[in-house]
Amino acid sequence: MDKTDVKLLKLTQDGIPITHSPFKVLAAELGISEQEVVDRLKSLQKAGKIRRFAASIGHRAIGITANAMCVWNVPDDRIEKTGALMAEFPEVTHCYERPRYPDWPYNLFTMVHSYTSEDCEKVAIRISEATGIKDYTLFFSEREFKKTGVRL
């Protein structure tokens, strides 16, 4: 990474300008072209310097305050297919496999966000019906401690 890459990452790590042409604004601040901003971000991602470049909505700020971690006991031979199906639900923001433990049978976790806990429960029921997985539990978050990524 060169100095421009570092400056670009520092400019974008807390979000990009909310405007019609955010990369043009960044380009002007860096003294490079808009296309170079896009190319540098793609290159940094391809090189593994950044994992992803995507929109992230502050869900609590817009009233989505019910957050449920749904843990599922999925047969090991169905984990890939079931995880892919669960991830297709628009209310699911995270879906990942985790190891089982002797006192913890759950191996697939999904994060569901909605306006009410009842809505989250309805989503879990829909997921259960779609996948045939009946052994699951929901855990609701009570408060948020951190909402930032890695910083330079």
Residue 120 lies in a domain: yes
Confidence of residue 72 (pLDDT cuts 50, 70, 90): very high
Residue 147 lies in a domain: no
Q: How far apart are CA 98 and CA 85, in angstroms?
A: 17
Residue 132 and residue 63 in one domain:
yes
Q: What's the pLDDT at 107?
A: 98
Place of tokens 């879906």: 95
Residue 65 and residue 118 in one domain:
yes
Residue 83 and residue 115 in one domain:
yes
What CATH number should be reported for the domain holding residue 87? 3.30.70.3460
b/e code 118-144 from CB counts within 10 Å (16+ = b)? ebbbebbeebbeebebeebeeeeeeee
What CATH number should be reported for the domain holding residue 18? 1.10.10.2890
Q: How far apart are CA 112 and CA 62, in angstroms?
A: 15
Q: What's the pLDDT at 146?
A: 65
pLDDT tens-place string over residues 73-108: 999 999 999 999 999 999 998 999 999 999 999 999
Whether 115 and 47 have beta carbons less than 8 Å apart is answered as no
Cα 28 off chain centre by: 29
Whether 133 and 71 have beta carbons less than 8 Å apart is answered as no
Residue 14 and residue 73 in one domain:
no
How is residue 134 written in tokens? 């009946």
Q: What is the DSSP pairing of strand 66-72 with strand 136-140?
A: antiparallel
The distance between the two most distant Cα atoms of the chain, rounded to a whole number of Å, is 57
Q: Considering the entire predicted model, what is its pTM?
A: 0.65
Which residue range forms the structural domain that includes residue 68?
59-140
pLDDT tens-place string over residues 37-69: 999 999 999 999 998 887 766 777 777 788 999
